[in-house]
Chain A
Amino acid sequence: MTFWLKCALPFLLGCAVTAPAQSVVIDRMEQALAQQQQRNQEIESAWQRLQAQSDSLSRLITPLKAQSSLTFFERRRLTAWLADAQQIAARLEQTAASRKQTRRLQDVLSRRLDSLYTAALDSISLELKKSAAGPPGEQKRLLEQMALWQAKRLSLQSLATLEINPDPSPLLVESDDLPEDIERKADYLRDRSDQLRSQAGRVGDRVRQVQKEIALRGRMADLVSDMRVFDSRDETARAGSPVDAVQPGRDLETLGGNKAGHYPSTAYSLQPPAELLLNYDFRNLPAYSLDGYQELLEGEEQRLKRQADSLAVLAQEFDQQAQQLRSTLIKQPQ
């Protein structure tokens, strides 16, 4: 018996014994992954639903909050909406945590399953070599099994690529971090939060500029319609009116990255970055597109504010952790 054959024999024997067991494990793991995917989808749709609700509420709340004085009914409405927004924000936070957890679990399961498929494919390759002189039916069965697992492995890879729009990996407190390290991380988070808040401020300024231009166009259209409503019509002078102003405005859609002509909703797609929106020369936009541009800006402003708030909260938590760790270290005997 040659050296190589001696080495291969125990492995081949092992494979023969473990092959059925491997198949059972793969089945179990596939079931677990399917359940996890199902759960992930449920959480994802719940998260998107909440995000959409949050966006709608923001759109309702923003104009009311911008008003200097509110009527009794408006104040009541605003209070109710703010309470709703708070509840939704809390639920969003919970759902975001579950979403992260389920995604992590799904990732772990799919990686394990991938390893199992790889091992199983190796086993089948060996079996194929072994049964080269065997019956053609057996070879066919093994080849089919191999093709099946290869297809499943490929589907796992496509599942991994479907993980779009991942949350940016947050700065975490490591187990070996010293209080100074945690404080440095908290400072970084605070800086980032300030940057986002200042960016949100610039976006807010742009919103007001756009609102001013919309108001100018509206006032011009109002003047024409007031002058003409009881007398003659003059379409040449009505070019600024909102109804007549469904004018060319595709550039903004290109800016939003959506060729179908719909502006992206914050719930279902990535918002265009603030800088891209701020660098865009809105003076070239017709009245109709100004509305869309304003919507994009308002969405971006809200998103930036939310991000800034959550980073500020995280920074505060880090500070507390650093303090706790420092007091623990002080109390510990040398």
Chain B
Amino acid sequence: MMNPVKSIALSLLLLCAISGPLSGQANWRLAHRVQLGYEQDSNIAESVEGAVQAENLRLLYDLQVRRRSLSFSYRAGAQVYPDFSSENKLTHEIGAAFSRPVSARVELGAQLWSRFKFFLETEQDLICGFLQPFLRYRMDTATWLELGLRQEALDYANSDYFDYAGPGLTLQLYRRIISGWTLSPSIAWQRNVFQRASYGYASSGSYLFLQPDRQEDEQVAAGLHSEWVWRSLLMTCQYKFESNHSNSYGYDYRRHVLTALFVQGWREWFFRGYFSWQKKTYSDAIRPFLPVQLDTEQEENNLVALDVSRNLYERLAVVGRIAWYQNESPWADLYYRKRLLQALLEWRF
């Protein structure tokens, strides 16, 4: 549990450290976004049965800094629930990326992403993130190949049970098919080593036992990403197949993920949509005792979100958003449903 004063001070310090010196530089592009709004959550406890509705105040600050091949982003968010203080939380997200050409065809770069999540009343604070150096090779004017090495980690402040870290490898091909349409097939491998012990299954009887080895998961994924832009419409679709093999009984699974996003601009209006459908199949007869993460970040998430925004003034916009979820609960293979309603004011400067 983090002191809220410390968290707010951290946000302000980061903000001053970043935007102060850069705001005077003409060749740096800074974009600030402040969002304030009301959110209604139909199932605050993410319960499979007996959903309880709650409302919260949502505040988000977003900073994007860009300069040529260097980019940096910082997001700070706060959610305050008047009736469920245990859900009050602050989040800080930092991302940075750069790339540098080393020859006419080869480019080197790195990408860093990290999230700090602080609960104000409960002890579920966590930090997760990854670092990914990459090498990019331009095969021709319309084709690039990117090879990335990755180190990923998750750490809960008050528990080691869900913590993991591990290396990964990604290979992605970008191919422009026609003007405005890019296809990008990819494959990835990731190995996560957990702090917790693995479970074994006794073949003689139907029971699980703790093994001396830590849990180690190997994920292999293959996907195809497509981006299409035409006039004021931008659309992305992605299919991903993921297979997880674990030395801990119950954690083997296969998953199909389909994601689609669109944005359509029309005069002062923006229409946005976000769809995600996943199908996860566990290989073992008994489901895992606990999920991969307490925050169920890597579990199945299905959602449909529709969003309409309108610019009231050049910098001020009003946003209305509705989203339906069907997500896997902390109990594997059991699903909860919820609906989020958001009414937001957004100020960009």
Which residues of A are interface residues toward B (Cβ below 8 A)? 56, 59-60, 67-69, 212-213, 215-220, 222-227, 229-237, 239-251, 253, 259-263, 281, 283-284, 288, 291-292
Contact = CB atoms under 8 A, between A and B. Distances in A.
Q: Which 8 A-B pairs have the closest CB atoms?
A: A283-B180, A243-B95, A248-B144, A232-B297, A246-B97, A243-B73, A261-B101, A216-B234
B46 to A, nearest CB: 10
Given A220-B261, A246-B109, A237 B95 contact: no
Interface of B: 26-27, 29, 31, 33, 35, 60, 62, 64, 66, 68-73, 75, 77, 79, 89, 91, 93, 95-101, 104, 107, 109, 111, 113, 115, 128, 136, 138, 141-142, 144, 146, 174, 176, 179-180, 182, 223, 225, 227, 229, 232-234, 236, 238, 240, 257, 259, 261-263, 265, 270, 272, 274, 276, 295-298, 301, 303, 305, 307, 309, 313-314, 321, 323
Contacts of A232: 295-298, 301
B187 to A, nearest CB: 13
Residue among B113, B142, B262 with the highest chain A CB neighbour number at 10 A: B113
Given A213-B229, A242-B64, A244-B111, 11 more contacts: A215-B265, A217-B234, A229-B77, A232-B296, A236-B225, A236-B257, A239-B225, A242-B71, A248-B138, A284-B176, A288-B71
Contacts of B66: 242, 288, 291
Contacts of B180: 283-284
Given A222-B33, A250-B107, A234 B232 contact: no
A196 to B, nearest CB: 25
A248 B305 contact: no
A244 B314 contact: no
Contacts of B225: 236, 239
A240 B274 contact: no
B263 A237 contact: no
A261 B69 contact: yes
A226 to B, nearest CB: 7
21 contacts: A59-B26, A69-B313, A69-B314, A216-B233, A220-B236, A222-B62, A226-B60, A227-B323, A229-B91, A230-B89, A233-B297, A236-B225, A240-B234, A243-B73, A243-B113, A246-B97, A248-B136, A259-B104, A260-B101, A288-B69, A291-B66
Contacts of A226: 35, 60, 321
B238 A224 contact: no
B276 A262 contact: no
A146 B89 CA distance: 84
Contacts of A259: 101, 104
B97 A244 contact: yes
A236 B323 contact: no
A236 B179 contact: no
Given A68-B314, A247-B174, A219 B261 contact: no
A69 B104 CA distance: 45
Given A223-B261, A234-B259, A292-B68, A242 B73 contact: yes
Contacts of B70: 246
B235 to A, nearest CB: 9
A292 B69 CA distance: 9
B101 A220 contact: no
B240 A230 contact: no
Given A229-B91, A230-B91, A259-B104, A219 B71 contact: no
Majority DSSP secondary structure for residues of B touching A: strand
Contact of B141 (A217, A236, A251, A262): A251
B93 A245 contact: no
A243 B96 contact: yes
Contacts of A227: 274, 303, 305, 323
Contacts of B272: 219-220, 223
Contacts of B60: 226, 229
Contact of B71 (A217, A243, A281): A243
A223 B69 contact: no
Contacts of A215: 265
Nearest to A294: B29
Contacts of B223: 236
A240 B95 CA distance: 14
B100 A261 contact: yes
Contact of B236 (A68, A222, A240, A291): A240
Residue among B35, B111, B262, B272 with the highest chain A CB neighbour number at 10 A: B272
A239 B33 CA distance: 19
Residue among A245, A248, A261 with the highest chain B CB neighbour number at 10 A: A248
Contacts of A222: 33, 62
B295 to A, nearest CB: 7
Nearest to B234: A216
Given A223-B274, A237-B276, A250 B101 contact: yes
Nearest to A259: B104
A58 to B, nearest CB: 9
Given A236-B240, A246-B99, A261-B69, A229 B307 contact: no
A248 B144 CA distance: 7
Nearest to B307: A223
Contacts of B98: 246
A240 B261 contact: yes
A72 to B, nearest CB: 15
B111 to A, nearest CB: 7
Contact of B29 (A56, A241, A291): A291
Contacts of B321: 226
Contacts of A224: 261, 274
